Structure 1
């Protein structure tokens, strides 16, 4: 099914986990994909796996210059149609144990990185005549969680920035939506012990972890024409965890 044939998409944080599955589904749908990540070895390996339709470049999402490089590379492949702001950090730490450096690390990667990504792609999407941005937030931005104040703050910011950008960019024919994953079976969960993750699963009504493939399917929909009347939406995919 090549419903995205010839369209170009940029994925930040695309080397593994959620971003890697998004890249695979987009290539399967006929798109060309640029993946950017600080994990260079993993990013190069994924690009090699996916072949000519996928390109990799190093991308620190806190760097304005590297965002410019990523957009420029994408436009060498064709007209840029979509961005996924997928890069993120997560370290659960109680409030009183969270130091300034850790709080600022979450803010810079999760919040500033999303802002810089959205800002960087707007001129390219205006040249295309349309565009779709998907910001990966979290269920903590819908209900919060203990021992994660830095992560929670940054993901609430992503939720708010999505709505602000959606209002501003709608007249330019650019849509902006946010996805709010619950506990997903990726390396990000390795910050907790296996026992802690098992306890977390028991709090999920569906009683299992989500998969990166499931999140990727939702992202693909939000990048496609099937969601053409959606902007400013926040969609939880969490097995009911936010209920």
Structure 2
């Protein structure tokens, strides 16, 4: 008997910020499980390269480059995608980091972090949800972080944005669950990504992380795919407003 709780055949998934890092890994993973994926990013050449890699692996993919922090651009892009195919799955992954002590944090970087990490999920989530509500079905996956739960020196504003994503996820679930929309979050721990490259290259930080994480290592982005496939598929039909930590046990341990 075909086990279809993780089969995404016939579904379309938009993944924001998916030209590299976690977003790219999730786009590849959802495509491998049958979804047609929409790759999004600010750099068109990089997004096209990501799409080629997914296509070469046998996935169905299109590219939609738009600014996820601009309401007008978001609404136009979602309307354009929806004119071609319904968005069944949305992964709000776009994000950025800027590290400096809180007392020295530049105000313009605070605003940029809020726009990129929180406003984007609000704008894209709302635009897509309008269509999902009309269809009576949808899956939204927001990318949170261990910093939704914990803080670390030098990244207080980032921590604030990821805490907001965790609670925005709860709010989406509360408002939209009645429309058969499941809104959940994945909270990665420390993964080897371009966003974390400075930390990966720092032997002292890596040594600290290996001691601090019960699993004793960095995560590999491919280890996030199963969580995304589960939350995007039929198996999560009664899971809503949940944040799933994929972190090697770091939030479970002191």
User: TM-score band, normalised by the shorter chain?
Assistant: over 0.9
Point out where structure 2 has 5 or more consecutive residues left out of the alignment: none
Map 1:1-243 onto structure 2 (within 5 A): 3-51=7-55, 53-192=60-199, 193-195=201-203, 196-243=205-252
Number of residue pairs matched by the alignment: 243
Farther off after superposition, 54-63 or 224-233: 54-63
C-alpha displacement at 1:138, in angstroms? 0.6
Offset of 1:144 from its aligned partner?
2.0
CA distance in 2, matches of 1:186, 1:18: 7
CA deviation digits over 1:4-60, x for unaligned, max 9? 111111100111111111111111111111111113222101112223710112122
Q: Deviations over 1:53-94 (max 9, x none)?
A: 101121221011222233234324422211000010012211
Q: Secondary structure at the match of 1:62?
A: coil
> What's the TM-score, normalizing by structure 2?
0.90
Provide closer, same or farther for how the CA distance between residues 76 and 197 of structure 1 changes in structure 2, counting only shifts above 3 A. Answer: farther
Contact persistence 2:133–2:176 (CA under 8 A): no
Q: Please state how far the C-alpha of 1:179 moved relative to its aligned partner.
A: 1.1
SS at match of 1:183: coil
**Structure 1 unaligned runs (5+)?**
none
Aligned-pair CA distance for 1:167: 0.4
RMSD: 1.6
After superposing on structure 2, the runs of 4+ consecutive aligned residues of structure 1 that deviate more than 6 Å are none
